[in-house]
Structure 1
Amino acid sequence: MEDEIDECIRNRIEWPQLPIGVKKLLGDSPKEYERYIFEFSIKNQLRYRGNLVRTVRKDERKYYEVLVQGSIQRLMLYPYHLADMIVKGLRITPFIYYVEVVALLIEMEKSYDTMPNFTAADCLRLLGIGRNEYLELIAKARSLRRRGRSKAIRALLPRVPLNIPMLPWWRVELGYVLEEDVKPLCDSEKALIDLLIDRGSQTAGTLDYNVVKTLYRRGLIYLDVPITAADKVSVPPLKGFVMNRIAGDYFETLLYKVFVSVDEHTSVAELAAVLQVDCELVKQAISLYCRLGFANNLNPPPVTPQHPSWKDAVTTHKHQPYRQIAPLTFDPNVDEDALQMEPVLIKDAPSTSKQSSHDICDNATNNSGQRVAVLFDSTLAAYLMMGNLSPDLKSHAVTLFEVGKLCDESLDSLLMELDKVVADPEIEGEARRYLAAAACLRIALRTLRPSLRPLDLLRCEALHALGPAARARLFATKYRLAISTAPLSREARAGAVAGALPHVGPAPPEASTPWMRLYLYHVAGYGPPTLLLTKGTVVRSVPRALLGFARLCVWWWGAEGEGAALPAAAALAAANSALRRAPVLLQAAAVRHQPRLRHLAFPPHAHDGAEAEAQSLWRTHGGLRRLARRLRLARAAGYVALADIGVPDLGCARPPPQVQLVPPRKKKEVCGVAKPLSEVSLSSNDSVDKTTEYAKPVTNRLQSPIESHFAVTPTTESKTSSPANGFTSTEGGKLLCEELDNLNIDDNLIHRSKESICASDDFVAIHSSSNSIEELKKHDPEKSISKESISFSDDLVPIHSSSTSVENLKFDSKKKEDNKITSQLNDLLSPAEESISMFTQLSDKLTEITEGDSGVDTAHNFSDEETCKPEKWTILDLQFGIPLFDEALCERVCQSIVDRIAKPDILEKIKEDNEFIRSDVLKFVSQCQYYPGEDMGIVKRGTLVPLPRKNLVFENGRITEWNGK
């Protein structure tokens, strides 16, 4: 509502010409519109002449008085663009203005952080009051009496401004000078006053520097920093910037937009066109940067002839960043009373304001070579600042955070500071974490710049402030490629920042949410047991999928970084607490100790030495191969995080192409559920029919292998006080296998080879705790029984025996027994997604898997039809971009970008890949939200990531709806 009204006021649309919709918003009241005009003009420090406010308020002087008071109350920057009216009309110089601002804060005993960033920086420049000085003033003010306290506070503040830097190309303007002000002046000072009265403003460099400085400190003149539409500026590393807070007013917002958009090759006019902002506003912003020393004009106006006194002039800002500022003192040889100037009210004073001339906004020639953008988030800047590694490096970190950009021209100085810091052996403790980020940034720049120069560092959060349209125009005109660091925070949304550019980084907005992890597990078929719980869910006990894990990871929606690995009891308490406010991802972390982590760089390529073993996982790990194919990792760059959680990951033989949530059915409709083996008496003499009939009544008492393996108390009522399924020892497993071996099974199945079993999608091997794996002999394909000829209620799971090989199994040749045997196996063997978990008892051979071995040797091929095999390293996470926590990993990824990714023919394919991943993840999220056939709502993709509607569980390589157990 207010945005539409504000836009009409800025475009000077009067009431009769207002759109009908805006009039209705104002209640068809012209008076309400006038109130909006006045408040908007004061808040945005608009000039009286040339704006709608002159039709609302007839007293120009009164308007400026209210504007100044309102700006002081809001702690805004001094309105330098209105200096011709405020200094000449109200006799309020920038120094007097900021004295009032600081006095107001002290009277209210507000924190120094209350002052906005740019206001605090200007106060520091003119008054020399930084954080330490302000605290000292607060302490002195508290000892003052209440009576006359306001005047006493002002007596504590400086009486004259500091000796600020001046540049020769600045303009000297005359303030309002009274006759009493001229009497104590010397002849040279009076001559300069007369010159300004007779000839108007003068270039500072043509005048005597000492005279200009003295008159400025007396408050009789003020300085203007002229900027034209053709000027180009550079932003060096910030010094003297104060990091307090952001006020959010219009001009401050524009300052930050200009900060992240400006560079040495873009003129003011071009910058205004990119931002779609009035050129005069952009010139005001650039002028302020040059005044504060935050930017340098690359082509200032010529100064001829220059006065000799400017050879010794103070023209550069000698800031002492992040150190204590000099105390509030002044040269004792100078008469402070003579220099002090108080504001006075002027009656019937003629207006001396000058209408600023409109410069012709000529389009300058843009830099022909487009750049490469390295996107990072606020975490990197925070690491470089918090580490307290060095003052000069901290200056670059402040620039990265506040400006949001560091151009290629400034990277040489950054690299010099990074070289000093990385070589410092005295950095220890927590600072090593920050040092790792600095070292990785150094490696990334030194690897990428030689081939991809020019290269700019851009902060994602600052680019979001530009808005989608301005950001798209900026990237289209300046950049050809975007590369992200990793991992990025949730607010970064690098994919949205990069827009239409080829982007080596996270594509979908869901990349930093739990949805991405579930998507990776779904595609790969491997991953730790994971639950995604909706807001409001209460977990009363450890879920069945997570039983046996001593440590669990809790990651609540919107949290940054990795989830903390907590003891199971503490994890449940933390999850229930977080579930009151947001969804939670609950994930198995480790059986006993902290999980071991491993990082693999992609795209996969051959390496020599120790890295060859790690890269071999890309060939032998089924889940990694699926990820590489589905996400097109051959032309992407990043890393995969693997974890050893203490138990091999059985995975899924062939993950389903899409998630299909099955609506919960009534208990009597459930079919294909495994029977508790302890309740079934098996022997070679028992018939199949009798055994099946006996097993039916106890179907509902099934307990999962994980419960049976780790149970120490009965899970159901039992006279023997033993776990319900009786699977508690090696002897029990051997007994089961012996009974199965004695079953009369058709001889036609004896020649079924191991390869044919592996090729079937429905077979997932379960290994007994003390059994070796016997290979099956190959058979004639014509004699094999196809999957269609046997009716399976769910995935059939063959159990390997230790005492009898598969070759010794005896089958009845009668065809009518096939259906009985199939029914018998369905009764005895549980479906993979119901009962097989990480904790299925494995053979001793599996427990001896050495590091680097991706699983047992099952004589498989590397096709999609391969059987699922246990993997020591399960997939934990995947990140696109440059890692900033491991130097060796960072160097490998950056070298891959230079050698294999940053090629013209690859860049267009990267854009297609990113679009595919975006749509695929969004489709996956939709599948996880609705049942098949249910009316799927429109899931908005962008800044709003959809929250889960159902509790989901990932187990055994599949995502299903969690039933609460």
Structure 2
Amino acid sequence: MKVLNWLVLLMQSWCKKLYNRGLAYLEVPVNDDDYIYVPTLDGFVMNRVLGDYFENLLYQIFVAIDEQTTVRELSETLNIDLQLVKNAISVFCRLGFAKKRITGLENLALHVTWASHMIIPEMDEDSTTAITTDLSDFSTTLVSPSGADEDDENESNTDGLIMNHDVLTASFTSLKNHAVTLFEVGKLNDESLDSFVEELQNVKLFMEGEAQRYSEHAQTLLLTILALRNSSELDLIRGESLLSLDHPTRLRLINKTYRCLVSMAPLNGEACPLSVTSIPHFGTVIPEVVSSWFRLFLYFTLGDGPVSLYIPKGSRIPVIPCALRRCKHLLITSASHEPVIIPADNCLIQLNDMLQTHAVFVQEYSAVIDDSEIVSVPFPFSESRSTDGHFSSHPSVLKLRKKLGLNSLCGYLTLLCRKKTTDWEEQSEKKRKGSSMTVSKDPRKIANLRVHLRDDEKYADYTLLDCVFGVPLFHEQLNRVICQRIKDCELLDPKNSNMVEFANRDLVQSLRELINKYQTSEEEPASVWEISRWSPPSQTLLFQNGEISVVDDLQIW
């Protein structure tokens, strides 16, 4: 400190000359009880080298830095030597990527020549400067509100918003720095969200093309942040960034920092669901929930659903299975591609091509493919809409609501209309002429908030297609409904925690029991919550007439 006092009393130009000649060395001392934060990054570029131990260590510490955690607590959470953590943080501070809450310069008298060169960060809500950049593609998880240490009454309960973004680019230049920060640091903390929200509010709405989709997602993200941030603090987190940490460390970090988790929806098969036992999770609790296994589980639980065939990788299908021959269209889903809807009589070539590289889930689909065949039923449910004729009173919806405890969770159900009505036939006459073409679309990303059956419809015309947990970003109105019901039902209230954890645990256990029944595995998980990556089937499975059966020979069957 004596040397520091001597230096800061010198003229700025003298210190610069000493530094340029190598006669002065800059070091940022880091103490055990220092609080460190990462501001919105500007000009940050990281070229990662695979297999570099020191770089991996630095990255683990970088993504785990939290403004409400001391350096010692960070070391204990990561289970990394305290001195290594302090050295790494010192490097981050020297590079300008991280900053100390209290620097030690606050009470020092500086030479007047330093006045024009000092940058003193604000310590209030505006500590992060407003930055311009834009946001490109949202594709995997959204929200994670979790909890602070309950033993410390002065430590606030922080909500975290988990986002698994596959791509974040500078399509909208006003959000670039925020996108880079979210991608590299893996988090935008509550303070940074002030400027982030301001920039989202300035995003222009486009009327066509990819720009329209990006701007709509930005608007929906803004609505989600405002809704969830209304009651407590919020962090926006990119789930993939946590993959640099091992699973136990990841859980310790989440458990210490957050009160509950809320995920973006729908997630794809490559997402990073966080299997957390100790805090409520409103979203995809394990990877299996975004697999085709989950759809089989739903249909088996209800005893109803579209005819479905889960075919292992490497199989060859010489003829269309008889259970699917009456279908006009088939929905084909694989782990690494967007679902496609193809005419049943032209499906064999494309189906066999896909089976060379992936297991394939084939389902009967509606004769109409103009999006009117889908109905979205958001949950938790509104009791005012639980009247006869409303989709929330559909027998499958009522049964699944009870079986999975959907009123304690959030998301939406996707219903598929298998029977086309006379009105549909008239409205779709022109569209059906082009129905021989393959259509690439994910029914989970189609929102139709029609709440009541038409006069010529009945519940039996509709069957459950899928259940999606979390908060959707792809449709503004669906997002508004779910966010409002989260507020009305007080889902994020700690009093609801036990019900959420019970519903999630029961879902995980039941789903894995079904998978283990039809998928032989060498090892059983030590715990129902043990992290796993679901595997495709080793035998062809058929769901029909409320039952799952094993198909031995597709050519004869």
Is TM (by shorter chain) over 0.5?
Answer: yes
Contact 2:331–2:364 (Cα < 8 Å) also in 1 = yes
For the residue of structure 2 that corresponds to 1:494, the secondary structure is coil
Change (3 A) 1:882 1:615: farther
Report whether the alignment pairs 1:946 with 2:546.
Answer: no
Report whether the alignment pairs 1:442 with 2:222.
Answer: yes
Q: Counterpart of 1:955?
A: 544
Q: Counterpart of 1:605?
A: 382
Deviation at 1:883, TM superposition (A): 0.8
Q: Counterpart of 1:399?
A: 181
Deviation at 1:569, TM superposition (A): 6.0
For the residue of structure 2 that corresponds to 1:553, the secondary structure is strand
Deviations 1:469-488 (Å, cap 9, x if unpaired)? 22232233222211111112
Q: Counterpart of 1:329?
A: none
In structure 2, which of residues 77, 100, 113 is the aligned counterpart of residue 309 of structure 1?
113
Change (3 A) 1:222 1:572: farther
Contact 2:376–2:412 (Cα < 8 Å) also in 1 = yes
Report whether the alignment pairs 1:572 with 2:348.
Answer: yes
How far apart, in 1, do the equivalents of 2:492 and 2:205 lie?
35
How far apart, in 2, do the equivalents of 1:614 and 1:441 lie?
34
Change (3 A) 1:270 1:495: closer
Deviations 1:692-714 (Å, cap 9, x if unpaired)? xxxxxxxxxxxxxxxxxxxxxxx
Report whether the alignment pairs 1:625 with 2:398.
Answer: yes
Paired residues for 1:8-87 under 5 Å: none
In structure 1, which of residues 542, 549, 553 is the aligned counterpart of residue 331 of structure 2?
553
Contact 2:325–2:344 (Cα < 8 Å) also in 1 = no
Q: Counterpart of 2:440?
A: none
How far apart, in 2, do the equivalents of 1:489 and 1:231 lie?
39
Deviations 1:508-534 (Å, cap 9, x if unpaired)? 330111101111122223332221001
> What amino acid is the match of 1:371?
T
Deviation at 1:873, TM superposition (A): 2.9
In structure 1, which of residues 885, 889, 893 is the aligned counterpart of residue 474 of structure 2?
885
Deviation at 1:640, TM superposition (A): 1.0
Q: Counterpart of 2:496?
A: 906
Paired residues for 1:259-658 under 5 Å: 259-302=62-105, 304-313=108-117, 315=119, 368-379=155-166, 382=167, 385-386=168-169, 388-391=171-174, 393-421=175-203, 424-426=204-206, 428-451=208-231, 453-496=232-275, 498-556=276-334, 558-559=335-336, 562-568=338-344, 571-591=347-367, 593-595=369-371, 596-606=373-383, 616-619=390-393, 621-647=394-420
For the residue of structure 1 that corresponds to 2:342, the secondary structure is strand
> What amino acid is the match of 2:359?
P
> What amino acid is the match of 1:575?
L
Deviation at 1:240, TM superposition (A): 0.8
Change (3 A) 1:924 1:615: farther
How far apart, in 2, do the equivalents of 1:289 and 1:209 lie?
23
How far apart, in 2, do the equivalents of 1:522 and 1:436 lie?
36
Deviations 1:602-639 (Å, cap 9, x if unpaired)? 0111457xxx89992121x2211221111111211111
> What amino acid is the match of 2:374?
L
As a proportion of its length, which structure holds more helix?
1
Deviation at 1:236, TM superposition (A): 1.6
Change (3 A) 1:426 1:243: farther
Q: Percent identity?
A: 34
Paired residues for 1:807-822 under 5 Å: none
Paired residues for 1:821-840 under 5 Å: none
> What amino acid is the match of 1:527?
G
> What amino acid is the match of 1:503?
H
> What amino acid is the match of 2:466?
D
In structure 1, which of residues 216, 219, 237 is the aligned counterpart of residue 40 of structure 2?
237
Contact 2:130–2:196 (Cα < 8 Å) also in 1 = no
> What amino acid is the match of 1:506?
T
Deviations 1:803-860 (Å, cap 9, x if unpaired)? xxxxxxxxxxxxxxxxxxxxxxxxxxxxxxxxxxxxxxxxxxxxxxx99328989xxx
For the residue of structure 2 that corresponds to 1:214, the secondary structure is helix
Change (3 A) 1:316 1:547: farther
Deviation at 1:218, TM superposition (A): 4.1
Deviation at 1:248, TM superposition (A): 4.3
For the residue of structure 1 that corresponds to 2:461, the secondary structure is coil
> What amino acid is the match of 1:254?
L
Change (3 A) 1:645 1:204: farther
For the residue of structure 2 that corresponds to 1:871, the secondary structure is helix
Change (3 A) 1:574 1:291: farther
Paired residues for 1:657-668 under 5 Å: none
Deviations 1:637-682 (Å, cap 9, x if unpaired)? 111122335559xxxxxxxxxxxxxxxxxxxxxxxxxxxxxxxxxx
Change (3 A) 1:526 1:386: farther
Change (3 A) 1:551 1:212: farther
Deviation at 1:245, TM superposition (A): 4.0
How far apart, in 2, do the equivalents of 1:615 and 1:954 lie?
28
For the residue of structure 1 that corresponds to 2:237, the secondary structure is strand
Contact 1:265–1:367 (Cα < 8 Å) also in 2 = no
Deviation at 1:211, TM superposition (A): 1.9
How far apart, in 2, do the equivalents of 1:880 and 1:938 lie?
28
Deviation at 1:956, TM superposition (A): 2.9
As a proportion of its length, which structure holds more strand?
2
How far apart, in 2, do the equivalents of 1:601 and 1:960 lie?
31
Contact 1:387–1:434 (Cα < 8 Å) also in 2 = no
Deviations 1:764-808 (Å, cap 9, x if unpaired)? xxxxxxxxxxxxxxxxxxxxxxxxxxxxxxxxxxxxxxxxxxxxx
How far apart, in 2, do the equivalents of 1:322 and 1:410 lie?
13
Change (3 A) 1:316 1:491: farther
How far apart, in 2, do the equivalents of 1:211 and 1:322 lie?
38
> What amino acid is the match of 1:598?
V
How far apart, in 2, do the equivalents of 1:616 and 1:277 lie?
55
For the residue of structure 2 that corresponds to 1:450, the secondary structure is coil
> What amino acid is the match of 1:433?
R
Q: Counterpart of 1:98?
A: none
> What amino acid is the match of 2:171?
N
How far apart, in 2, do the equivalents of 1:893 and 1:505 lie?
13
Q: Counterpart of 1:853?
A: 453
Contact 2:314–2:357 (Cα < 8 Å) also in 1 = yes
Q: Counterpart of 2:19?
A: 216
Q: Counterpart of 1:720?
A: none
Deviation at 1:274, TM superposition (A): 1.0
Report whether the alignment pairs 1:895 with 2:484.
Answer: yes
Contact 2:130–2:195 (Cα < 8 Å) also in 1 = no
Deviation at 1:902, TM superposition (A): 1.9
Deviation at 1:916, TM superposition (A): 0.6
For the residue of structure 1 that corresponds to 2:180, the secondary structure is helix
How far apart, in 2, do the equivalents of 1:469 and 1:614 lie?
48
How far apart, in 2, do the equivalents of 1:232 and 1:616 lie?
53
Matched positions, count = 496
Paired residues for 1:131-210 under 5 Å: 204-210=7-13
Contact 1:440–1:885 (Cα < 8 Å) also in 2 = yes
Contact 1:239–1:321 (Cα < 8 Å) also in 2 = no
For the residue of structure 2 that corresponds to 1:501, the secondary structure is coil
Per the normalisation by structure 1, the TM-score is 0.48
Contact 1:854–1:872 (Cα < 8 Å) also in 2 = no
How far apart, in 2, do the equivalents of 1:209 and 1:879 lie?
59
Q: Counterpart of 2:506?
A: 916
Q: Counterpart of 1:57?
A: none
Q: Counterpart of 1:49?
A: none
Structure with the bigger RCO (C-alpha within 8 Å, sep 6+) is 2
> What amino acid is the match of 2:378?
A
How far apart, in 2, do the equivalents of 1:957 and 1:904 lie?
38
Q: Counterpart of 1:832?
A: none
Contact 1:534–1:948 (Cα < 8 Å) also in 2 = yes
More displaced stretch, 521-530 vs 937-946: 937-946
For the residue of structure 1 that corresponds to 2:304, the secondary structure is coil
Deviations 1:875-926 (Å, cap 9, x if unpaired)? 2211111111111211222222233212233211111111110100011112
